[in-house]
Structure 1
Amino acid sequence: MSSSTYIDSLPYYDKQLDDPSLKAAAQSLIEAELRNTPQINDNDERIPKSIDVFPKSSELSSLLNEYPKKTIKSIDPTKYQPPSISSESTLEELKEAEKLSKISEGHMTLRLENTNLLSNYSPNAWLIRNFQLSSQVKELEESLNQIKEEIININRNRRIYQEDKGKLLNKYENKWQDLISSNVQLEMACKAMNIEVESLKRREEILQKQVNELEV
């Protein structure tokens, strides 16, 4: 069978498939046909690509994947505490404490700047991002509704097509049955005529024989 052959079942017309035995026989034929039909690969260009609606970074994905088994660690505040020194601290310890203090001061200054930036710009950024997400959700919902409508139209058209073809099949089936019935009746009439012809021939022979006897 050519791969371009159009194959379609008629579930809206073929009610015979409600019979379990006929359904099993039809299923075996379908499986045999599928074994000879070219299969579509998962990477076929006709298959829609999967869409990640809410993409996550690899770090966040790893963190969320490990969360059920591994509890997320809280922030360790000890590394941000000022170093402790005493009157007996050595010069090296004092230098190390000064270095840590400058690092903590720089870190806290950067945190304060980030906090100020966040308080100034994050509300608008949050609103803009929400607007973008709402627009994306709306587009996806419209696409989903459009696809659902296309599916409904396809099923509706298939049902109309199958019911029309079912009427045509019924017409052809009735015509075929009428032709078969006519052929059977014609064959029976021919046999009856042959019997009658044979009977007339035998009668003719008898009458001819009687005529010959009278002439003698």
Structure 2
Amino acid sequence: MSSSNIDALPYYDKQVDDPSLKAAAKALIEAELRQTPQIAPNDPRIPPNVEIFAKTKELSELLDGYPEHPIRGIDPSKFGVPRLEEDASLEDMMEAERRGRIGLGHMALRHDNIDLLATYGPNAWLVRNYQLNSQLTELQQTLASLKEQVTDVNRARRVAQEETGTHLSRLEGRWQDLVGATVQLEMACVAMEGEVRGLRSKEDELKKEVEELEAQA
């Protein structure tokens, strides 16, 4: 990582611990975000939402209003044994016979389903559990790998920033030393200029004295 590409060293700079500086930095970030173009929800770069457990039309109708309203269950009364009054009419008897056939067919279908479930259910359940465990293991391995990659990236960032921060601190110290030396040199030059002016003034005075002595002689 090149130091020329680093404009912030959060692992090295400790100025962000100052509340006033932190507030100023947040204000600058918010101002920058307000000027940054926002990404539209339908941007093609954003992956589409994946519905893991898709609902069928029938299931959606069954869960409509849940949990505010209880789930509408199956009405078992239409599969029960029909009851007739002693003075039931022929139409009532025919309706009861029809409902009895429906109930009988329903019970036969349930019996067949139970037989199929008893025959193939345990093995299918074990196979599905094995598949889910395999998927879970794969996802856990992927998650662990991604976490390790994140840790490696953060570790590399920290090392690079600490090395860059140390280098910048060394350069800053050298710059301060050079600035101090320059200031001292300027002060020495000013002092020397004052001494030179004093010597020239004294030279002029001595020349005048010599001229006066020569004139008297």
Measured after TM superposition, the shift of residue 166 of structure 1 is: 0.7
* Distance in 2 of aligned mates of 1:65 and 1:111: 27
Match of 2:204 in 1: 205
Distance 1:177 1:163, change over 3 A: same
Cα shift at 1:56: 5.4
Instruction: Report the number of matched residues.
Output: 211
Give 1:29's aligned residue. 28
TM-score (normalised: structure 1): 0.82
**Mapping of residues 56-135 of structure 1, within 5 Å:** 57-58=55-56, 60=59, 66-72=65-71, 75-85=74-84, 88-135=87-134
Give runs of aligned pairs for residues 16-55 of structure 1, distance below 5 A.
16-41=15-40, 55=53
Structure 2 letter corresponding to 1:57: K
Partner of 2:161: 162
User: What are the ranges of 5 or more consecutive residues in structure 2 without an aligned counterpart?
Assistant: none
Shift of 1:186: 1.0
Give every structure 1 segment of 4 or more consecutive aligned residues whose post-TM-superposition deviation is greater than 6 Å: none
Farther off after superposition, 10-19 or 23-32: 23-32
The 2-side partners of 1:41 and 1:161 are apart by 35
Could you say if the C-alpha distance between residues 74 and 47 of structure 1 is closer, same or farther in structure 2, counting changes exceeding 3 Å? Answer: closer
The answer as to whether partners of 2:62 and 2:72 remain within 8 angstroms in 1 is: no
Q: Which amino acid aligns with 1:37?
A: T
SS at match of 2:10: coil
How far the C-alpha of 1:42 sits from its partner, in A, is 5.1
Aligned to 2:180: 181
Question: 5+ unaligned residues in a row in structure 1: which ranges?
Answer: none
Of 119-128 and 39-48, deviating more is 39-48
User: What TM-score results when the alignment is normalised by the length of structure 2?
Assistant: 0.81
RMSD over equivalenced CA pairs, Å? 2.9
